[in-house]
Amino acid sequence: MKIATWNVNSLKVRLPQVLDWLKQQSPDVLVLQELKLEHHQFPEEAFRNEGFQAAWNGQKTYNGVAIISKHPIEDVQADMPAFADEQKRVIAASINGIRIVDVYCVNGEAIDSDKYIYKQHWFTALQHYMQQVLAQHENTVLLGDFNIAPTDIDVYDPEKWRGKILCSAAERQWFQNLLDLGLTDSLRLINPDAPNFTWWDYRMNMFRRKLGLRIDHILTSPALTVRLKEAAVDTAPRGWERPSDHAPVYAVFG
């Protein structure tokens, strides 16, 4: 089973690219972040015409998440039930016996901002939420845009980014708290030494210069980790015309 994640930075703009990628890569499940679409604007028919089902949690501006699947989507839950949040950043569902949790985690803007405090509260809520999910679902995958580069290998210039947003010690601890629940960073498990960047700033030709960060992740429960066969970043879409600033990340399970 092939499961992928992609922050598309506006589904309205990137819909043709998403449909092309689905045809090329044929994942069983693709989760999306940063739809930037109100709930009623989601292009469900476009995915249905390609043989995919969809569940989504829409919101205009910067948020919105969706699950696209070849298989039946069951037991859909939008948002974290114990965390009151107007921002649409979470959607979960069960597909082929796997609990899929799609997240668009808070960016935080800067470590001295109110948004950083919101990010801290949000990750604390996510930790508690995932503890409950893992207790209920043996096969679980938590994936999406985490807006955290977990270690120095995940950053093109660790010294330049040290202590800054996405790379602060506190944020890295929030990510580690998720791993401490028993989750495994699938891409790092398969590729322990390669940077495998997933995001490149639009400015200063960063993608062509290979100057990026790894902030999109696929975390797996122990029962799913033992089934992991492959994990990789598909950088090709980042080089397409009018691309998202993120590339798809995928994992394959036996």
pLDDT in tens, 226-243: 999 999 999 999 999 999
What is d(CA 130, CA 142) in angstroms, rounded to the nearest whole number?
8
DSSP state of 60: S
Burial of 254 (0-12, 13-18, 19+ CB in 10 A): exposed
* Model pTM above 0.95: yes
- Tokens 């960016």 belong to 107
Determine the 3-state secondary structure of 200 from DSSP: coil
**pLDDT tens for the 254 residues of the chain, in order:** 999 999 999 999 999 999 999 999 999 999 999 999 999 999 999 999 999 999 999 998 889 999 999 999 999 999 999 999 999 999 999 999 999 999 999 999 999 999 999 999 999 999 999 999 999 999 999 999 999 999 999 999 999 999 999 999 999 999 999 999 999 999 999 999 999 999 999 999 999 999 999 999 999 999 999 999 999 999 999 999 999 999 999 999 99
83, 63 Cβ separation under 8 angstroms: no
Q: Sheet harboring 140-145: ordered strands across?
A: 74-78, 90-95, 98-104, 140-145, 216-220, 184-185
CATH class of residue range 2-253 = alpha beta
Domain ranges of the chain: 2-253
Looking at residue 53, what is its pLDDT? 98
What are the angstrom distances between the C-alpha of 26 and each of 29, 214, 229?
9, 23, 16
Looking at residue 204, what is its pLDDT? 96
List residues with catalytic annotation.
104, 145
Looking at residue 150, what is its pLDDT? 98
Residues 6 or more apart whose CB falls under 8 angstroms from that of 140 comprise 98, 99, 101, 130, 133, 134, 183, 220, 221, 224
